[in-house]
Structure 1
Amino acid sequence: MTTSALGQEPSVALRTEDFAVLAQARLEPAVWDFLSGGSGAERTLAGNLRAFDAVRLRPRILTGTAEPDTGVELFAHRWPVPFAIAPVACNRLLHPEGEVATVRGAGALGAVTIVPMLASRTLEDIRAAAGAPLWLQLFWTRDRALMTELVERAESAGYGALVITSDMPVMARRLRDLRNRFVIEPEFGPVNLGSAGVQVRGGEGESGVRAHAAKTFDPTATWRDLEWLRSTTRLPVIVKGVLTDRDAELAVRHGAQGVVVSNHGGRQLDGAQSSLTALREVTRALGGRVPVFVDGGVRRGVDVLVALAAGADAVLLGRAPMWGLAAAGERGVREVLALILEELREAMRLCGAATTADLGPDLLSWSAP
Structure 2
Amino acid sequence: MLTLDEAGLNLADVAAEARRRLEPAHWDFFAGGAGGERTVRANEAAYTRRWVVPRVLRGTGERDLRICLLGEPVSMPVLVAPTAFHRLAHPDGEVATARAAAEAGTVMVVSMAATRGVEEIAAAGGRLWFQLYPQPDLEFTAAVVRRAEAAGCRALVVTVDSPVFGRRERDLRHGFVDLPPGLACENMRDTDGRVRTIEMDAGLGWERIAWLRGITSLPILLKGVLHPADARLAVAHGVDGLLVSNHGGRQLDGALATLDALPGIVAAVGGRLPVLVDGGVRRGTDVLVALALGATAVLVGRPVLWGLAVGGAAGVRHVLDLLRADLDRALALAGAARPADLGPDLVAGPDLVAGCGPVATVVGA
1:147-173, Cα deviation, whole Å (9 max, x unpaired): 111111111121100000010110111
Task: Give the distance between the partners of 1:320 and 1:364, measured in 2 at CA.
Answer: 24
Corresponding residue of 1:58: 53
Does residue 143 (structure 1) correspond to residue 143 (structure 2)? The answer is no
For normalisation by structure 1, the TM-score amounts to 0.91
Q: How do 1:35-74 and structure 2 match up within 5 A?
A: 35-74=30-69
Of residues 334, 343, 349 in structure 2, which corresponds to 1:366? 349
Q: How do 1:155-174 and structure 2 match up within 5 A?
A: 155-174=149-168
Structure 2 SS opposite 1:316: strand
Task: Give the distance between the partners of 1:255 and 1:154, measured in 2 at CA.
Answer: 21
Of residues 282, 306, 316 in structure 2, which corresponds to 1:299? 282
What's the Cα RMSD here? 1.7
Corresponding residue of 1:204: none
Corresponding residue of 2:301: 318
Of residues 10, 13, 18 in structure 2, which corresponds to 1:15? 10
Task: Give the distance between the partners of 2:76 and 2:255, measured in 1 at CA.
Answer: 29
Q: How do 1:322-337 and structure 2 match up within 5 A?
A: 322-337=305-320
Mapped contact 1:226–1:255 kept (Cα < 8 A): no
1:147-202, Cα deviation, whole Å (9 max, x unpaired): 11111111112110000001011011110011111121242220121269859xxx
Q: Which runs of 5+ in 2 are unaligned?
A: 353-365
Mapped contact 1:191–1:197 kept (Cα < 8 A): no
Question: How far did 1:61 drift?
Answer: 0.7
**Cα gap change, 1:12/1:74 in structure 2, threshold over 3 Å: closer, same or farther?**
closer
Q: How do 1:59-98 and structure 2 match up within 5 A?
A: 59-98=54-93
Mapped contact 2:7–2:315 kept (Cα < 8 A): no
Corresponding residue of 2:213: 230
Corresponding residue of 1:33: 28
Mapped contact 1:186–1:198 kept (Cα < 8 A): no
Q: How do 1:206-355 and structure 2 match up within 5 A?
A: 216-355=199-338
Residues 177-186 or 55-64, more deviating: 177-186
Mapped contact 1:189–1:197 kept (Cα < 8 A): no
Equivalent residue letter for 1:143: D
**Cα gap change, 1:48/1:323 in structure 2, threshold over 3 Å: closer, same or farther?**
same
Task: Give the distance between the partners of 2:15 and 2:325, measured in 1 at CA.
Answer: 18
Corresponding residue of 2:111: 116
Question: How far did 1:10 drift?
Answer: 7.3
1:23-54, Cα deviation, whole Å (9 max, x unpaired): 11111110100000011110011011110000
Mapped contact 1:276–1:307 kept (Cα < 8 A): yes
Task: Give the distance between the partners of 2:346 and 2:212, measured in 1 at CA.
Answer: 38
Task: Give the distance between the partners of 1:178 and 1:302, measured in 2 at CA.
Answer: 35
Aligned length: 349
Equivalent residue letter for 2:150: S
Equivalent residue letter for 1:44: T
Task: Give the distance between the partners of 2:338 and 2:167, measured in 1 at CA.
Answer: 42
Task: Give the distance between the partners of 2:194 and 2:109, measured in 1 at CA.
Answer: 19
Structure 1 SS opposite 2:131: strand
Q: Which runs of 5+ in 1 are unaligned?
A: 200-211
Residues 320-329 or 176-185, more deviating: 176-185
Task: Give the distance between the partners of 1:223 and 1:69, measured in 2 at CA.
Answer: 38
Identical positions, percent: 48
